[in-house]
Structure 1
Amino acid sequence: MAFVEPVTLRLNGVALVPLGLEHEAGLAAAAADGELWNLRITSVPEPEQTRAYIETALQMREAGNRFAFAVLDEASGRVLGTSSYHDIVPAIQRVEIGYTWYAKSVQRSHVNSSCKLMLMSHAFDTLGCALVGWRTDNFNFASQRAIERLGAHKDGVLRHHALRRDGTVRDTVMYSLRAGEWPEAKAQLLYRLAQHPKPQPATAQ
C-alpha cells in the first residue's frame, strides 16, 4: 500500500483531485492565465509541455515519491492549478508540499490557503506525518513569505542545489513544520481564511 493513497479533498469551493491526463487542457489554460512559464524561478510547463509534465508526475507517483493533485473550482470544474506531495519518505513519516502553482487570476485569493489547509490537514491528521517540508528558490521571495506565514521553520539553504529552467543553478531554501507545531499553524490558517469571503460552506471527503 502506498503511503499516499488516492483521495479527493474539498474545502471552500476548491477541490484537490488526483492529477491525470484528463486535466491536460485545463492545466494548460491555467498556465496560460498569466503566461506563468515565463517566470524563471518556477517550473510551470509551457503549453506544449503540459502532457509531459503530467506524465512525469504520474511516473513519480508510480515510483512512490510524488503524488500530484489538480486544483479545481468545484462549481465550474475549471482547473486552477496544481500542487503535490513530494519527497515522500514513509519510514520517517515525512512529506514535502510543492510543485505548486495557480492561474494568475486566483492568486492572492482563498485558493492557496484552502489548498495548504487541506494538504497539511491530510498529512498530519490522516497520514500521521511527523513533519511536513517545503523548498523554494532563493530568489522566490513571494514563496518564502507564503511558507513563513504558515508558521514553518526555516531550516537553511542548500547552495548550488538545482537547475532552473534557464540553465542557471539555484540555491534552495528549506522549511519544515513538525506535528507538534501543527495545531497553532492550523489555527492561523483558519484565521486567515476567515478574512476571505467563502464561496460556499466547507465540506471534506
Structure 2
Amino acid sequence: MNFNFKEDYILENDVVRLQPLQATDYEELVKFSINEPELWSFNANGPDNPENLKKYIDKALIQKEKQLEYPFVVFDKVKNQIAGSTRFYNINLEAKHLEIGFTWYGKEFQGTSLNKNCKFLLLEFAFEKMQLERVGFRANNLNVRSINAMKSIGCFQEGIMRNFSTDAKGERIDAIVLSIIKNEWFSKIKENLKNKL
C-alpha cells in the first residue's frame, strides 16, 4: 500500500472510530483543555488550555503537511462522543517504521476498552496496510499508567533515554522506549490483543 498523507484514513470497529484530525475538532476537544489540564502533566507542550490546544492542533496539521505525522481524533462510538486524540509520528516509510504517540483520552474514557481498541486498529493498519516492520512507543518514565497500558498490549521494552525531554513543569524527564515488530504482531500480539477487546 502506498500511504498518502493527503488521504483521509478512517479506522474503526464497533467501539471506536479514528478519523483524521482537523482544525474544526478544536470545538469538541477544547472542553478537555479547560476541564482536565492535568491530562498533560507528564509532558511539555500539551494542550492544557484553549490557547495551547490551538497551537497543538496547528502544529499537528503542519507536521502532517510535512509528511512526518498523521494525527487522528478518537471518537468513542459507545458513548457517542469525541474522547481524545492519537497519532502516527516519526513516520519513515523508506525504513518501514513509525511511532504511535501523542495519545490522550478524557478521564471518563480512561480505564475502558477504548485504548486497546485504538491500539489494535493503529497496529493493524501499520503492519497490514502500510506493511511496516516496526512500531515504536515512548512515554515519560514516571507515567506508570501509560507504560502499563503499552505493556498490556504486548510492547517490548527496549530501554530508557535518560534526560530526554521535559514535563509540563519544565523538569527534565527520562523516556522509556518500547516497540512491537512485524513478526511479533502476526505470531502472537494481534491474536492476544483481539482477545482482550
Q: TM-score by structure 1 length?
A: 0.87
Given that 2:158 and 2:177 are in contact with CA atoms closer than 8 Å, whether structure 1 keeps it comes out as yes
Q: Could you tell me which residue of structure 1 aligns to residue 42 of structure 2?
A: 41
| Identical residues among aligned pairs (%) | 27
Given that 1:82 and 1:99 are in contact with CA atoms closer than 8 Å, whether structure 2 keeps it comes out as yes
> How much does 1:74 deviate?
3.6
Q: Distance in 1 between matches of 2:77 and 2:13?
A: 9
Q: Could you tell me which residue of structure 1 aligns to residue 150 of structure 2?
A: 147
> How much does 1:13 deviate?
3.1
Moved more, 10-19 or 76-85: 76-85
Moved more, 17-26 or 38-47: 38-47
> How much does 1:42 deviate?
3.7
> How much does 1:38 deviate?
5.8
Given that 1:157 and 1:171 are in contact with CA atoms closer than 8 Å, whether structure 2 keeps it comes out as yes
Given that 2:133 and 2:182 are in contact with CA atoms closer than 8 Å, whether structure 1 keeps it comes out as yes
Q: Secondary structure of the residue that 2:132 maps to in structure 1?
A: coil
Task: State the one-letter code of the partner of 1:13.
Answer: V
Q: Is 1:177 paired with 2:180?
A: yes
Q: Distance in 2 between matches of 1:3 and 1:164?
A: 33
Task: State the one-letter code of the partner of 1:123.
Answer: A
Given that 1:31 and 1:81 are in contact with CA atoms closer than 8 Å, whether structure 2 keeps it comes out as no
For 1:140-189, what per-residue CA distance to the aligned partner results, in whole angstroms no more than 9, with x for missing partners?
11111111111111111111111222111111100111100002111111
Structure with larger RCO (C-alpha < 8 A, sep 6+): 1
> How much does 1:37 deviate?
3.4
Runs of 4+ aligned residues of structure 1 deviating over 6 Å after TM superposition are none
> How much does 1:3 deviate?
5.3
Q: TM-score by structure 2 length?
A: 0.90
Question: Which ranges in structure 2 are unaligned for 5 or more consecutive residues?
Answer: none
- Structure 2 counterpart of 1:91, from 70, 73, 94: 94
For 1:11-35, what per-residue CA distance to the aligned partner results, in whole angstroms no more than 9, with x for missing partners?
12311000011100211123445x1
Q: Distance in 1 between matches of 2:155 and 2:95?
A: 19
Within 5 A, what are the aligned runs for 1:178-193? 178-183=181-186, 184-193=188-197
Aligned length: 192
Q: Could you tell me which residue of structure 2 aligns to residue 133 of structure 1?
A: 136
Q: Distance in 2 between matches of 1:160 and 1:47?
A: 26
Q: Could you tell me which residue of structure 1 aligns to residue 110 of structure 2?
A: 107
Q: Distance in 1 between matches of 2:39 and 2:15?
A: 29
Question: Which ranges in structure 1 are unaligned for 5 or more consecutive residues?
Answer: 194-205
Q: Secondary structure of the residue that 2:94 maps to in structure 1?
A: helix
Given that 2:22 and 2:61 are in contact with CA atoms closer than 8 Å, whether structure 1 keeps it comes out as yes
Task: State the one-letter code of the partner of 1:146.
Answer: A
